[in-house]
Amino acid sequence: MAELMGRTALVTGGARGLGRAIADKLHGAGADIAVLDLPEVLPAADLPDDWQPIALDLTAADAEKRLARHVADLDRLDILVANAGMVPPWRSVADLDFAEWDRVFALNVRGVALSLKCTARRLAEDGGGSAVLMASINAYRPMAGQALYTATKHAVLGLMRAAAQDLGGQSVRVNALAPGPVLTDALLTRVKARAAAGGEEEATAVAGLAGTTALGRLATPADVAEAALFLAGPRSSSITGTCLPVEAGLS
């Protein structure tokens, strides 16, 4: 079903992982795609020829000026998926590293705010658009050792709610996704690293995570992409200011 035919979506952090899964899903629904990612990441992404790559580090000093220029150059813009972010190492509050804190906030929070600022007016054109921000279960379920990541995702949730109020009058909807543990390459890499450092074996750790969900399995990138398509498209036309969990019923 080409429910996004004639629409254009900008996906930040869209060259790999969840961002790529979302971009593929929106493209399959008919959208034209612009993918923003790091200059060192895009060359290896093997994007479809009809996608527009935007090589940009959202934490760069000139990121706002450059992103605004790229957004102005798009023929139209109907959808923003603000997915670019990072997962820092787990640390207790007593061990916080504030240089790391500033780096992670610069991307996970300031980068999302920057993306919204630079796209808000374009999203309001052509009858209004939709922004989907990437939050996390950490936005509503804090966990030990994850103070920094949790703080950034709480901030994204607050930003989403405020932006929904600011932009609703221009028919722009703003929502968020809150994935739980998702069976991505990045998650498997972290599990393998912990196993190599003496932690649980990979299969045991994945089974343990799956066992904490009501469905008895982990959410997949495809699950997150389906939720993004729902929030981005016309089926959610009366939904704004909402955070949608995608975590297979995490207990």
Single out the catalytic residue among 149, 153, 167, 174.
149
The residue with tokens 């220029």 is 69
Rounded Cα distance between 215 and 226, Å, is 17
Active site residue 140: no
CA angle 178, 179, 180 (to 5 degrees): 120
Structure tokens at 215: 């469905």
In contact, 184 and 198? CB cutoff 8 Å: no
Give the three-class secondary structure for 146: strand
Q: Cα angle vertex 103, ends 205, 218, to 5°? A: 25
Tokens of 22: 């979302």
Catalytic residues: 149
